[in-house]
Structure 1
Amino acid sequence: MRTGIARVLVVGCLVLGASACADDAPEASQLTAGAPRAEFYTPPVESVPGPHGSVITAQPLTGSRAVPGARNTLVLYRSVDAHGQTVAVSGTLAVPEGTPPEGGWPLISWAPGTNGVADVCAPSRTESASPGRDEQARWIAKGYAVARTDYQGLGTPGEHGYLIGDTEQRAMTDIATAAREVDPSVGSRWLAMGHSQGGHAALFAAGAAGAWAPGSPLLGAVALAPASHLGEQVRMAKWAVSNPLGKLGVGDISVYLPLLVRGAQTVSEVDPGRFLTDRAVSLLPVVDSECTAGLRDEGKWGGLSPRDVFTKEGDLSALLRVLDDNDPSGLQFDTPVLVLQGRSDRTVPPQSTDAMVAQQQMRGQSVDYRTYDDVDHSGIVAASFADVLRWVDTRFGITR
């Protein structure tokens, strides 16, 4: 049934897109102001071992990267990579100003959309206004604390497991745990939320958070335009190489393919030389230094068609195994899930999300699916906010 539904997908573009003081707050040595940024993201090796979800260090965050109306903290915390090794992960925590409600501020763990796999692409490392800051500010204004992960290997040592569900959800869940150590005014209950790549992460958090962090009650997950059926989309792009439809979906397929390759290489031996053209292989290192905006350049991946990328007889099996293994369509959820999709989305094809939700609902999963006419990929966050707020408030038992 999975293959039957996925095969009807049209060829679309790939996805892709001062702490409070208390006895259990971080020690003074953990909360340091003014640390050099490069030094902050690369902690001493001996400081990394420890329980996942615990804090390595933290410092106040100010300026354009801070969320208005909140106390903002830059956090370095512990998670576990795909090979079982403890790693440092960066992220931010924004907590509303004022007195928290009984039980502490309700927490949203926000997973960002695609920025790239190079360290400079980590959302918390941007020099200008932080990506997603407006979205976080909306939730702060409604009385929610927001923790946002940079994901494993994005800004910190190691490789970023782009669209690898297990490592995404661990980073997302572990920052929710770390948030309470950074600021004890944050409550223990939390909700997973994300857009695009982050929507993919939120779905995997819904499928695994109970087992990964049983002491952190997950109340639900919100996935806005989440990535799914990537294996099928890559198969169809490869098929287009020897078909007249090969000119369709040129830009984004090319831009996101190197990110998928790098992500897959974090969990499996994927040799891009087995399916990429010489030209594409020569451009692959660009992804290690450029973010998505740079990859779109006509002289880089943005100027390549499927015929420029794939060899006709290439062997995609290793890459496809990883993509299929990380398709959220087959996840089992222990908590309610809300999925939202714009019908005019040209980045995450609506047909892909339709198929994913259909597969989940046919297995009896608790998935609430809402679509929005004339809303594109970036617009879905703002267009659905009122609906999402009501749904999230219900999970936390909040009335307005």
Structure 2
Amino acid sequence: MLAVPAQAGANSAVGPDGAAFYDPPASVVPSAHGSLIWSTPLAGAPGLAGATNTKVLYRSVDLQGNAVAVSGVVSVPVGTPPPGGWPVISWAHGTTGTADVCAPSLDSDASYLSHPYTSLTDQTLAQWVSAGYAVLKTDYQGLGTAGEHGYLIGVTEARAVADIVTAARELDPAVGTRWVAAGHSQGGHAAAWSDAQAQAWAPQSTLLGAVALAPASHIGTLYDVTASPLGSLLTGSAGTGGAGTGSAGAADAPSPFTPLILTGAATAGDIHLPGILTPAAANLMPLAQTDCIDQLRQSDWGRLPFSKTFAAGADLSALRSILDANDPSSLKFSTPLFVAQGKADTTVPPTATDAMVSQLQLAGQPVTYKTYPDVDHRSLIAASYTDALAWVNARFER
């Protein structure tokens, strides 16, 4: 059952319908991060079964220190909350794209371009609701709302994941102050960064840990075939969401994730795309502003070999620097991290996750690692649920 609140957004303004929901007047955006701009009730998808569902627009802060509007969905279990309020899962989604049309809160039916992925994810998220958790789903900064999406930029991901927790409690006081970050693929990357940074960013809430499913890592290495043996796994498996796009060992495979990675990196520094791309790749970059990941796979990005993506002799050092700076492998955590990886994953290389976990554990970080034989990228979400639930329940002492 999808429940609709009798008075949705009682603690915020009621947002307008349609595209206007994502486009607030510039004058109302500057304010405390995590505060609500407006909200509107949801009677169906992308709400979750067994919950009171509300679409929200809330405030965060970008890398340049500017206040930005971020959209998302708040799903609160129907019924009486436990003492202290509903425990919280702040969910970070996997790759949908960098175009505004790829924001998961737009997924009301099969016409949404990333519906196969987000609808599959929501089946497992509804199980979290059934287990007594409020589930919050950020769209991230710049997806659906103004500005560029910082794809795989850890700081802005973590801020969006943390700020929706504050916003949800303003919307509904039954939402508790204790929470866990969780996510898949790009969202696994976001969950790891949240584990490292969210407590300091949003100290009014208590972060208990994070769950990272097939987290993106070593993207800088994957874009440099000379750097290490990981480089041989290059672009066909270097992406961070959805199904695989090629053989994990195909060093010159196409990568529909490349325009997303470049778009995200450009939000964190000047990488001068015209100077590093071939004309063919440069001509395809506008697709990142219109297509989602499944459409990029079917476009020429799904056929353009890596050798024809970057100009001969291009200096990729600035790109590599940004990607390395956003790698989760050297993060420091004050709360535990649970990492899960399917061994049949052809999207996020298991060897990359193995290396990430090894680096973190060697540095003394509190990381638990679970692998799943014969489980691919998207199937991991459901396959890991029982283990993730047990781990999260332990964090909440449930």
Structure-2-length-normalised TM-score: 0.89
SS of 2:307's partner is helix
Find the aligned partners of 1:274 and 1:127 in 2 and give their Cα distance.
Answer: 40
Q: Which residue of 2 aligns with 1:56?
A: 37
Amino acid at match of 1:294: Q
Q: Is the 8 A contact 2:248 2:349 kept in 1?
A: no
The answer to whether structure 1 residue 295 and structure 2 residue 273 are counterparts is: no
Aligned residue pairs total 371
What do residues 175-233 of structure 1 show as CA deviations (whole Å, max 9, x unaligned)? 01111011111111000000000000000000011210111100010000000000000
- Kept after mapping to 2: 8 A contact 1:224/1:381: yes
Deviation, 1:313, is: 0.9
Distance 1:90 1:237, change over 3 A: farther
Instruction: Report the alpha carbon displacement of residue 123 of structure 1 after superposing the two structures with TM.
Output: 0.3
In structure 2, relative to structure 1, the CA distance for the partners of 1:20 and 1:355 (3 Å cut) is farther
Contact 1:246/1:305 (8 A) holds in 2: no
Equivalent in the alignment of 2:250: 248
Residue 272 (str. 1) matches residue 255 (str. 2):
no
Match of 1:31 in 2: 14
Unaligned ranges ≥5, structure 1: 1-17
Are 1:111 and 1:172, in contact at CA under 8 Å, matched by a contact in 2? yes
Q: Which has the higher contact order (CA 8 A, sep 6+)?
A: 1
1:213-362 map, 5 Å: 213-236=202-225, 248=250, 253-297=254-298, 299-362=299-362
1:85 corresponds to which of 50, 61, 66: 66
- Pair 1:163 & 2:152 matched: yes
Change (3 A) 1:71 1:246: closer
CA distance in 2, matches of 1:41, 1:275: 33
Is 1:145 paired with 2:117?
no
User: In the alignment, which residue of structure 1 is the partner of 2:244?
Assistant: none
How far 1:250 moved relative to its partner? 5.1
Q: Give the superposed CA RMSD.
A: 2.1
Listed one character per residue, the Cα deviations across residues 131-184 of structure 1 (whole Å, up to 9, x for unaligned) are 121121010111111000000000001110000000000000000111101111
Question: 2:257 aligns to what SS in structure 1?
Answer: helix
Q: TM-score, normalised by structure 1?
A: 0.89
The answer to whether the Cα contact below 8 Å between 1:172 and 1:192 also exists between their aligned partners in 2 is yes
1:66 Cα deviation after fit: 1.9
Q: CA deviation at 1:315?
A: 1.0
Q: 1:254 to 1:100 in 2, by over 3 A?
A: same
Q: Percent identity?
A: 52
C-alpha change, 1:21 and 1:286, in structure 2 (3 Å) is closer
Partner of 1:373: 373
Distance between the aligned counterparts of 1:336 and 1:209, measured in 2? 13
Distance, in Å, in 1 between the alignment partners of 2:248 and 2:348 is 19
Alpha carbons of structure 1 residues 358 and 20: separation in structure 2 relative to 1, 3 Å:
farther
User: Is the contact made by 2:154 and 2:190 (CA closer than 8 Å) also made in structure 1?
Assistant: yes
Q: Distance in 2 between matches of 1:202 and 1:228?
A: 12
SS in 2 for 1:329: helix
CA contact (8 A) 1:69 1:137 kept: yes
